[in-house]
Structure 1
């Protein structure tokens, strides 16, 4: 699979100006300037990313007529351009879509939050009480039809200007992509992983994503994106068990009472217990180099175990921090 470096995708995103010695730069705010794709005569589009210490506009791709943007369960974006469907990964790499191919369904996350939206505010209601309220300035209005969530129940919406907002489930701002001029054609969608895609004729397609150092994950030649990312913990690489195993066509069952996971793929049955360095493969005990752990609400297992359990080839590329799994 070909990796597209960000430097190739970013020739048309610039920071506005430079700091003078007397100025104190706010690291939470990044000023952006985009050249319009419609015509070079139009003034550049100015924007600011607030929350830039943790988030970034990771890339921008040219496309003059993006429409019907939606996100699939694997966090791949799909959109129409000149009557043809296209897709792009959160990394910015385009993937071909055959005209005869059946498109995946748009993601519909299961959400426990009960939000009340008014013209200028969002309020979380629980047991008929308001836990928090997030309000916009008087000049801005929330577009309720744009309200959406990712798998971690982060909240996203656009205002009447086209600007894009993200809050955590406690109502705290994560980031804002604020446009200085109105772009009513801008459409933004949040992926289960938390990556966000935005499209419009003037901006093309761009992505806002969290600045993380998690390893890349490639399964059978295709980069995969899950709400739970691989993690380096105590100098070992751990991966989310359910996401990885189900991506490799294994059936996974969790037993809350015994804190055990059973996974079945073909003639292989794997049994694991949280915090135990012993696992079962077709009833035979095998030794793990580290026990499965519960991390951010999901079961994580050592990377090497994936290959041992499912008969896959697992390669760790240290230079690029990439996990290759060949099924």
Structure 2
């Protein structure tokens, strides 16, 4: 009995931690990368923090569009805080190990916040659709109660489903290699390390992606098709320009987030190269939150005016 037990222990290793390889293939760049990501993270905190403050305190920004923008900026801070501090610690200490539980928690929060971001982007597109296509009914349709409900649903709708998805991923048997060739814990590299049949969980991951990523994207697409159709019918050029300018910032953020995310998850496995995937993963978790305040402040006169009031010098 003891011999069988010893043999089983030798043939079956339970993974208790993972090694996030990150950018370990660039050993001479660790200090430089630490500095770059530290500056980016501080800019994300300051830029999005300023957007939150001005959308709360400036009377001219007490509209649904800026209410959603303030929530979106807070979401961006939370989203990046799930990945960047851990990445900075790994670059500084060169340790790179993450416990099984910490990896599960990171994956869970990453997915919950990513789903909330997709849903909130769809809500913001709907807000622009109502403002441009149904301007007379806008105050009635997008009243404060409706706006609060839309934000709450965006934040909480995915929580039970994505907690269950994370549980399913980490219930897989990890009995061999524990090196994740990624910058944070994510389903695709984790499933690659799992032993045994992973078909069911891969189907579940794809279904969740359809619900929380593809469906909001289609809603955004439908909203903008109707918006563009309405804008093209406007008689004056200045009217068309003004209407489109209220949507352009949102469109740029959507393009950055969905463009980089789709490259990561639709990258063909036959020609799989880890470095491009890692770089584009940083786009939707780091670069989009970094550019969000810049896009909204540089292309929005109301935001620039509010910033001048808050920071007169």
Is TM more than 0.5 here? no
Shorter-chain TM range is under 0.3
Higher RCO structure (Cα 8 Å, ≥6 apart): 2
The normalised TM-score by structure 1 is 0.21
Comparing both structures, which one devotes a greater share of its residues to strand? 1
